[in-house]
Structure 1
Amino acid sequence: MQLQSNTALIMIDQQKGILHPRLGRRNNPQAEERMLALLAHWRRSGRPVIHVQHLSRSPDSVFWPEQDGVEFQPRFAPQEGEWLIQKQVPDAFCASGLEAQLREAGIGQLIIVGVATNNSVESTARTAGNLGFDTWVAEDACFTFDKADYFGTPRTAEEVHGMSLGNLHGEYATVVSSVQVLAAG
């Protein structure tokens, strides 16, 4: 595994609302530390950083634009020169111009981190893979929440996270650890 000089780090939905207690129990309590380590590495190396911000269409969402949950957490706030992509659905490529911007910049390799693993991370990684990008998901720099499956069976955040990563690995993306990403360049 080798990172390209212009590999983009895509940070998904690191907004204040994702910390709201009503979202329930989550997995991977060190995910933010790992995201911050990757972000610091990207900033030092001068590689592109892309911040994805969810602007919900639903007034009861933690990402509804009319309240502070939509704002970036200060520790993940975009810096000058970093990209901001706003989305209204889980997939960061949908109606956002992201693909065109990546192609114009000559970026072919993506590292995806953020939340929620089974929602915005998975849908964005699926599209990235389908579009032909060399897509990596840093499994320990993502997290999700407990969720019932379609049949009503309660699933832990760890189970939801694991199944989502299993859906992605080998078909849409390569699932790696943040340590593997950092070691790759």
Structure 2
Amino acid sequence: MEIAENAALVVIDVQRGFEEVEYWGVRNNPEADANIAALIDVWQASGRPVVFTRHDSTTSDSPLRPGHEGNGFKDYVERRRGKGAAGAELLVVKSVNSAFYGTPDLGAWLTAAGIGQLVVAGIQTNMCVETTTRMAGNLGYEVLFPLDATYTFGQEGPWGWELTAGDLARATAVSLHGGGFAKVVTTEEVVKAASV
């Protein structure tokens, strides 16, 4: 695996509101936060660009709504923001699933910087992380998806169908990898390649 010198790490919605278990339910992958932190550390140490996205939910009872404590970044992310190379960090604020439909314009920023490779991590695996990854793949970016640097929650769908967080994460991995949107990898592989 090769990581470009200017590959961007896109950290999706690592916000305190996702800790509100009574709202979201049971999550998977308890190692995700440590893996996300490791990716940020490697990216900042190497001077590569990091994009942080924040979801400003328009749902009135969402833990991610503006003005609610849960809208803020988790502490380990907040401590790392602003620690990278000058001009190598971007904050994108959005209210939909794709980071490409936020403010400022992520696509324009990546184009201006000549960035063609992305590593996408964060919360939730099958929602904003997957949607951003699919769109990036459609737009022609080379995308690496460290599955173990994401997590999600179980959900109920139509006809009473229920999938656990693990089921949804596996479905995302199969869809993204099998569909050619991204290469699904591990955090360890990405960190090793980015540290060379």
Q: TM-score, normalised by structure 1?
A: 0.96
Residues 92-151 of structure 1 show CA distances to partners (whole Å, capped at 9, x for unaligned) of 001431001000011110000001011000100000000000011110000000112333
2:92 and 2:102 in contact (8 A); partners too: no
Cα distance between partner residues in 1 of 2:158 and 2:145: 25
Judged with a 3 Å threshold, the aligned counterparts in structure 2 of structure 1 residues 5 and 33 are, in CA distance, closer, same or farther, namely same
Counterpart in 1 of 2:141?
133
Cα distance between partner residues in 2 of 1:167 and 1:32: 23
Is 2:190 the partner of 1:181?
A: yes
SS at match of 1:151: helix
Cα distance between partner residues in 1 of 2:27 and 2:187: 19
Identity %: 38
SS at match of 2:45: helix
Counterpart in 2 of 1:11?
11
Q: Which amino acid aligns with 2:62?
A: S
Is 2:94 the partner of 1:100?
A: no
Equivalent residue in structure 1 for 2:166, among 149, 158, 165: 158
Cα distance between partner residues in 1 of 2:74 and 2:32: 14
Q: TM-score, normalised by structure 2?
A: 0.91
Counterpart in 1 of 2:53?
52
Cα distance between partner residues in 2 of 1:107 and 1:92: 15
SS at match of 2:158: coil
Equivalent residue in structure 2 for 1:109, among 102, 111, 117: 117
RMSD across aligned positions (CA): 1.1
Q: Which amino acid aligns with 2:111?
A: R
Residues 67-111 of structure 1 show CA distances to partners (whole Å, capped at 9, x for unaligned) of 111111121022154210000101100143100100001111000
Cα distance between partner residues in 1 of 2:167 and 2:108: 34
Q: Which amino acid aligns with 1:54?
A: H
Cα distance between partner residues in 2 of 1:92 and 1:32: 20
Q: Which amino acid aligns with 2:4?
A: Q
Cα distance between partner residues in 2 of 1:160 and 1:148: 11
Q: CA deviation at 1:66?
A: 1.9
Cα distance between partner residues in 2 of 1:60 and 1:73: 19
Structure 2 stretches lacking a partner, 5+ long: none
Deviation >2 Å, runs of 4+: none
2:43 and 2:50 in contact (8 A); partners too: yes
Structure 1 stretches lacking a partner, 5+ long: none
Cα distance between partner residues in 2 of 1:92 and 1:63: 15
